[in-house]
Structure 1
Amino acid sequence: MKGLDLLQVFTDYRPVDFQDLYGFPIRETKRRVFIHQNLKTYYSQLTDAAQDQPVPSAAFRQWKEFFETGNRTGFEKRYFHRRLMLGTAYIMAVMEGKEEHVKALEDIVWEICSEWSWCVPAHMKEPVRLAKEQLCPEIDLFSAETAHSLSEILLILGDKLDALVAERIKSEIDRRIISPMCDPACAYNWEKRTDNWSGVCGSCIGMTVLMIGSDKEKQIILPRIARSLDYFLKGYGDDGYCLEGLAYWEYGFGYFIYFAQMLRASAGVDLFQERKISNIGAYSDAVLIQPNHAFTYSDSSKMKIHPGIQTFLNREFPDRSGSPPSKPELQDDPCFRFGHMTRNLWWHHPDSEWTKHAERITTYYPSAMTVIHHSGEFAFYAKGGKNGEPHNHNDLGSFMVHAFGENLFVDLGAGVYTAGYFGRERYEHLQPSSKSHSVPAIQGKEQKPGSESAAVLIKQETGRKSAFLSMDLTKAYDVEDLRFFSRSFLWKIGKYGADLSIEDTFQTKGMIHVTERWMASVQPEWDGRSAVWETKRGIAIGTPDQQPERIRVETISYQEHDGSEKTCWMFYAVYRVNKVERLTWHFDFRLKG
C-alpha cells in the first residue's frame, strides 16, 4: 500500500498527546462524557469496576493447566481481570485526577510489570522449551496489547506516576517488546500472517514505538511494522471482506484504526485515504443487521461492534451507509482490552457523530463468493469460499436468514476455545464442523477441511429486491459415487415478505443418500407437507418439491464461545438420489397480522 510504503523512509515523527489520541483536550474529559447518558452509564460501570479490590494472583497452577488439560479459562480469567483493573484505574486517574486513583494505577501497573510473561499460555511454547529458549521473548496478541496499554499510560500520566513505576514501565517494554523487535534475529510468525494477529500485534507495537520509542527505534521497528500490516491487509479482499468474521474484523482492524489514527497525528501519513481501507471499514455495514444483531460465521459470535470504532468510521467515511453506534457496555469485551475501553469512552458520541443511515441493499463479495442482502425486516447471507480459511468452518454453501427481528436460520459462530479446538480434532467440535451448518450430508459424510475443498462460482446476480448465487460444491465432499453437486440460492423480497429457494443438483454414479439440513434458532414443526418455524412476529414455511423419505428434528444443546449454554434445532430431510436429480426447497417468510 502506498501509505505503508512511506514508513520505509519516513523519519519525522512528532510526539502525540491526549488530544491526538482521543480528539479533545484532557481538561474536557468530564464534560465530553457527562453530556451523554449512555456514556455516563458506561462510566458508572467503569467506576464500579475500579473499586478497591485485591489483584488476582497469576498462579502457576492455573498457568500450567492449559498445557496439561487444554483448558484456557482458569488462567485467562485472572489475566483479563488484571487488564480490567489496569484500564479502569487509568480512566479514573484521568477523569478524577485524585492521588488515590494514581496510587491504585501504580499498584496494578507494578503487578503487571511483575508478570513472568505478558503472553497467555495458549499462545506459548511448551513450558520446558519455553524455559530454555529466552533469547527472543515471545510476543503474542496480549503481550503486544499490554505494551500498548502501558505506553499510553506512561505518555498521558507519566508525570504523575512515581518515578520508579515510570522507569519500570520503560524497562519492561524495552525488555519484552522493543529490544527483540530491534533485533533482526528475533522473527515472529505473526509478522507474515494474513489474519488478526499481524493487525493487532503490528498495530500495538507500532503505537508503542510511536509513543515511547527513540528515533533510532522508530527507524528500525516501524518499517518492520509496515511489512507486518501489509500482510494483515492482504488477508482482506480488495472488496473489504473479512474471512474471520465480525469479531476478528473488530479486533484486527479496530487496532489498525487506533494505530493509523495515531500515525496520522504523529507523522501526517493518512492510511484512511486508501480505497481498500475504506472498503474494509464498510464491511461492518453489510454484516451488522441491527444494533444488536449480526451475521455470525467463522469463529465469530459477535452481534455488535464497539461504539468507539463505529463512531470513528461514521466520522471518517461519511458517505458509507453506516450504523448508529451501539450503547457501550463494559461486559461486551470479556478480555477488557485497553484500546476498546478507552476509545469507547472518549471516541463515542452517539448524538453528534451519526446523522444519516443510507439504505443497505445487496453486497456481493467476490473475494469470498459471498452475498449479503438487506431489506427492511429481512436480511440474507449465503457463502461459498474455501474450507481452508482463517478460523475456518466447513460451511461451503451455508446460509443465514434474519427475519421478524431475530436471527432465524443461523450459524452458531465460535465454540469454547481449548487446545483441541485449534488442534487436529478441530472438526470433531460442533461449531467448526459442517454438522452445525445448513449444508447437506452426502452418504453420511460431512464436508472436508482444507483449501482444496473449495466452491466454484457458477453464476451470481444481485438487485435491489433479489439476490442469486449458484456454486459448484463437488470438491467439498469426499464421496466416491458423487460426480457433481451444485447449490443455488434465489432470494426475493416481495410486498408481504420474503422468499428463498434453494436448489441442490446432483449427478451420481448410482444411488446415494442425501440429508438436507436446516439449522434454526426456533423449533420447527412438520405438518406432513412443510416445515414450519413460528416466532412471535412471523412464520417461515419450508416446502420441498420432492417429499423426503423421512424427516427428523434434533434439539442441539451447545456452548457458545463464552461458555454459556444455548439451544438450537436442526431439521433433517433424508432423500435417495440416483443419477441426476434436483432437490428444491422453497421458504416463505411472512409477518403476522
Structure 2
Amino acid sequence: MEKQTFIEAFGMLHPADASLYGAEREAWDRLAGDSGQAGLVREIREEGDRLLGGPIPPLTRELFDLYRTQGTRLEYESVYFERRRRLTTFGLLRLLYPQDERYAAALRAIVREVLAETTWCLPAHMTGETAERGIDLFASETGFALAELLVLSGDRLEPELRADIRAQVDRRLFTPYLTMGPYHWETAEHNWAAVCAGSIGAAALLLEPDAKRLAVIIGKAMKSMDCYLAGFGEDGACLEGLGYWNYGFGYYVYFADLLHRRTGGAIDLLAGAKTREIALFQQRCYLMGDLTANFSDAAPDTPARLGLSAYLAARYDDVEMPPASIRAAYTEDHCARFAPALRELLWYRPDAHADLMSVAAAWPDGSRYLADAQWLVSRHAGPAGRFGFAAKGGHNAEPHNHIDVGHFIVLAEGEPAFAADLGRGEYTSAYFGEGRYAYDCNGAQGHSLPVVGGRMQQAGRDRAAVVLRHDVSPEADLLELELAGAYDAPTLASLVRRLVWDKTELPVLELRDVFSFEGDGGRDVEEVIVTRCEPRQVESGCLLLKGSKYNVRLEYDGELLAPTVERRTFAGHFGEEQHYYRIGLKTAPVDEAKTLEIALRLRFDAAGRE
C-alpha cells in the first residue's frame, strides 16, 4: 500500500464500537432466538451451565514449571484453556442474555482472574523470555478477546474493569510490541505471524486511542501479514494442514475484516489473487465428510467452521460452503478461542444469507493437483460409496514437518484409514526438539515410504521430491515422483514412485516403485504401508485390511516380498494412546541388481468377500 493511501485511511477511521460487527443489541436478541443458530446457542448455554457448577481453576507456579522440569505441556495447558473457556463462554452468554446476572458475575470474575495472571503466554513459549516482554500466540489471542469483549459489552462492563482491560492489553501487548521487539514471529511465514500480529493489530484497532501509535502498530502488523502470505505458494495450500489453515488464515481474516471496516474500505487485505487461492484451500483439502488430507501436524478429522466459511463464501464467488453436517461444535476448539467462537455466531446466518451459502449434503467429486505443495487430492463417489486419496511430494523441512515425501492416504466413508497419516502427536519439549523424528507420527517410520538398504528418509530442505508427472481425469489420477533425494542411501541412484488412483466403482490404488542402484552396498528394500485396519494374510501375495463395509486387498509379489505386521502405539495430541499397524514387505538382499521394480495394489472390495 502506498504511504499516502495509508495515511489517508487513518485520517478517516470509523468508530471502534459494536457497529463494526453489525452486533448492536437487536442483533444479539435475534441471535438468542434465531433457529438458524439455535444449535450453537444451545451448546454455549450447556457449556455455561457446566462451568457455573465449578470454581475457576488456579494456574499455579508448580504447573507452570512442569514444562521446564519434565517437558510436558498438558498439565498447565488444560487449566489455562479451561480458564479461557470460561472467558469465551461467559463473554458470549453475557452478550446473548444481558439480563442474566449469573453470566454477568461469572464474566467479571474470570476477566479479573485473567488480568491477574503473571503471563498470558504458555510455558512452552517462554523459554529464555521474560514475563514483561513475552508475547506468544495465546497472549495475543487473550488481548484480542478482552478488547472485543470490552467493545461489544459497552457500558455493561464496569468502568474500573474497562480501564483495567485497557491498561493490561497495553502493558502486555502494545508497549512490548512497539518497544521490545522485534519478535521472531514478526517475519514468520506460518500461523504465528497471522495470529500474533493479527491479534495485536485487531486489539489496537479496538482499543488504541492515539492515531499515530495505532498507525505504527497497524503498519507493523501489515508487514507480518505479508510474511504470512509469503509462506503460501500460488496454489494457496497450507502445508501445516487444514487445522492450521483455520487458525492462521482465520486470524488473518479477522484482522483484515476489522481493518477494512475501521478504514471504511480503504485498506483491503483480502483483495489479492493469493488470498482467494488460500480461501479455496479448505474445499480442496477435504477428502470426504470431515476427513482431510492430513499431512503434517494435522488431525485426520477437522470439523468445519461455518462462520469463517460463510464470510469467505460471501467474499469469493468460488468458495464452497462445507456440508452442514460437519459443523464444528462449540466445544470443538480445545483452546476455547474467543475470536472464532464469536464469528461462528455472527458470520453464519443461514436465515439471512441463504443466497450466499447454499450448503450441499456432501463435498462434490473432484481431483486437484496443488503444484506448489506437490499434493494430489482426490474425492471419488459412486454407487458403491465415497472414497478419498491423497499423496504428496514436497520436502522434509516443511512447517510442522513430518518426514513424508512420497507418502499417501486412502480412505473410505465410515472406515478407519486403510492407508493412514497418523497426524499430530502430543506436543512436548521433545516433540519440537531433537527427538522430534523418534515419534512415529513425525518420523519416516510412521509413513508409507520405502526403506532402502536399512535407511529411511532424512530431514532437511534438500530432502525433496522431484515431480516427474501429474495428471487428473474423471477415470484416474496420477502422481509420479523422483524420491532418491530424500534418502541418504549410498547405493540409491534413483527411486521413482508412481501412484495411480483408478476411480472405478470400487477404486484401486496402483503403486509402483522403481529403484536404480549403483556402487557397492546393501540393496535390500522394505516397502511400508501404514494402516489403521488390522491386516490379515489371506493367501500368498495378499493381505486383507478389513473394514465394516469395505475391505482393501493389499496385493504384492509373494515370491519377491516377505510380509511382516507390527502393531505400534503412540501418544495422540491430547496424550491418549493410539495404535496403528505397520506393514513391512521386504526383499532379500540382492547385491548385484542394478534395478528393482516393486508393484503393489490396494484394491477395494465389499466387506464379507475374501
Q: TM-score, normalised by structure 1?
A: 0.94
**Superposed displacement of residue 571, structure 1:** 1.2
Conserved in 1, the CA contact under 8 Å of 2:244 and 2:298? yes
Q: How many pairs align?
A: 583
Residue of structure 2 aligned with 1:204, choices 181, 190, 199: 199
Q: Residue 587 of structure 2 aligns to a residue in which SS?
A: strand
Pair 409,9 (structure 1): closer, same or farther in 2 beyond 3 Å: farther
Q: Residue 155 of structure 2 aligns to a residue in which SS?
A: coil
2:419 is equivalent to residue 409 of structure 1: yes
Pair 526,9 (structure 1): closer, same or farther in 2 beyond 3 Å: farther
Cα deviation 1:172-214 (Å, max 9, x = unaligned): 111111112232x521010001010001111111110111112
Cα deviation 1:116-168 (Å, max 9, x = unaligned): 11111100124xx637xx4xx11100000011001001111141212111111
**Superposed displacement of residue 4, structure 1:** 11
Q: Residue 421 of structure 1 aligns to a residue in which SS?
A: coil
Structure 2 residue aligned with 1:108: 110
Pair 117,4 (structure 1): closer, same or farther in 2 beyond 3 Å: farther
Q: TM-score, normalised by structure 2?
A: 0.91
**Superposed displacement of residue 271, structure 1:** 2.7
Pair 7,472 (structure 1): closer, same or farther in 2 beyond 3 Å: farther
Structure 2 residue aligned with 1:233: 229
Structure 2 residue aligned with 1:299: 297
Structure 1's unaligned 5+ residue stretches are none
Structure 2 residue aligned with 1:381: 390
Q: What is the alpha-carbon distance in structure 1 between the residues aligned to residue 51 and residue 3 of structure 2?
A: 38
For 1:118-517, what aligned pairs fall within 5 Å after superposition? 118-126=120-128, 130=130, 134=132, 137-183=133-179, 185-214=180-209, 215-267=211-263, 268=265, 269-301=267-299, 302-325=301-324, 326-349=326-349, 352=354, 354-357=357-360, 359-376=364-381, 377-406=386-415, 407-494=417-504, 496-509=505-518, 510=520, 511-517=522-528
Conserved in 1, the CA contact under 8 Å of 2:451 and 2:525? yes
Pair 29,300 (structure 1): closer, same or farther in 2 beyond 3 Å: same
**Superposed displacement of residue 312, structure 1:** 2.2
Q: What is the alpha-carbon distance in structure 2 between the residues aligned to residue 448 and residue 33 of structure 1?
A: 54
Pair 111,24 (structure 1): closer, same or farther in 2 beyond 3 Å: closer
Conserved in 1, the CA contact under 8 Å of 2:395 and 2:465? yes
**Superposed displacement of residue 492, structure 1:** 1.5
Q: Which amino acid aligns with 2:174?
A: I
Conserved in 2, the CA contact under 8 Å of 1:240 and 1:280? yes
Q: Residue 61 of structure 1 aligns to a residue in which SS?
A: helix
Q: What is the alpha-carbon distance in structure 1 between the residues aligned to residue 259 and residue 512 of structure 2?
A: 50
Q: What is the alpha-carbon distance in structure 1 between the residues aligned to residue 357 and residue 178 of structure 2?
A: 42
Q: What is the alpha-carbon distance in structure 2 between the residues aligned to residue 242 and residue 390 of structure 1?
A: 9
**Superposed displacement of residue 591, structure 1:** 4.0
Structure 2's unaligned 5+ residue stretches are none
Q: Residue 364 of structure 2 aligns to a residue in which SS?
A: coil
Conserved in 2, the CA contact under 8 Å of 1:5 and 1:226? no
Structure 1 residue aligned with 2:28: 29
**Superposed displacement of residue 587, structure 1:** 1.9
Q: What is the alpha-carbon distance in structure 1 between the residues aligned to residue 489 and residue 313 of structure 2?
A: 48
Pair 299,3 (structure 1): closer, same or farther in 2 beyond 3 Å: farther
Q: Which amino acid aligns with 1:205?
A: I
Q: What is the alpha-carbon distance in structure 2 between the residues aligned to residue 17 and residue 4 of structure 1?
A: 26
Q: CA RMSD in A?
A: 2.1
Pair 19,39 (structure 1): closer, same or farther in 2 beyond 3 Å: farther
Q: Residue 280 of structure 2 aligns to a residue in which SS?
A: helix
Q: What is the alpha-carbon distance in structure 2 between the residues aligned to residue 103 and residue 175 of structure 1?
A: 25
Conserved in 1, the CA contact under 8 Å of 2:445 and 2:456? yes
Q: Which amino acid aligns with 1:96?
A: Y
Give me the identity figure in percent: 29
**Superposed displacement of residue 7, structure 1:** 4.7
**Superposed displacement of residue 457, structure 1:** 1.2
Pair 589,84 (structure 1): closer, same or farther in 2 beyond 3 Å: same
**Superposed displacement of residue 350, structure 1:** 5.1
Q: Which amino acid aligns with 1:323?
A: P
Moved more, 398-407 or 466-475: 398-407
Pair 350,324 (structure 1): closer, same or farther in 2 beyond 3 Å: farther
Structure 2 residue aligned with 1:524: 535
Conserved in 1, the CA contact under 8 Å of 2:74 and 2:574? no
Cα deviation 1:77-115 (Å, max 9, x = unaligned): 111111011111111211111344223212111111111
Q: Which amino acid aligns with 1:204?
A: S
Conserved in 1, the CA contact under 8 Å of 2:304 and 2:328? no
Conserved in 1, the CA contact under 8 Å of 2:40 and 2:329? no
Cα deviation 1:201-239 (Å, max 9, x = unaligned): 111111101111121222111110000010001111111
Q: Which amino acid aligns with 1:580?
A: T
Structure 1 residue aligned with 2:555: 543
Q: What is the alpha-carbon distance in structure 1 between the residues aligned to residue 3 and residue 594 of structure 2?
A: 55
Conserved in 1, the CA contact under 8 Å of 2:44 and 2:330? no
Moved more, 519-528 or 186-195: 519-528
Q: What is the alpha-carbon distance in structure 2 between the residues aligned to residue 381 and residue 328 of structure 1?
A: 23
**Superposed displacement of residue 9, structure 1:** 6.5
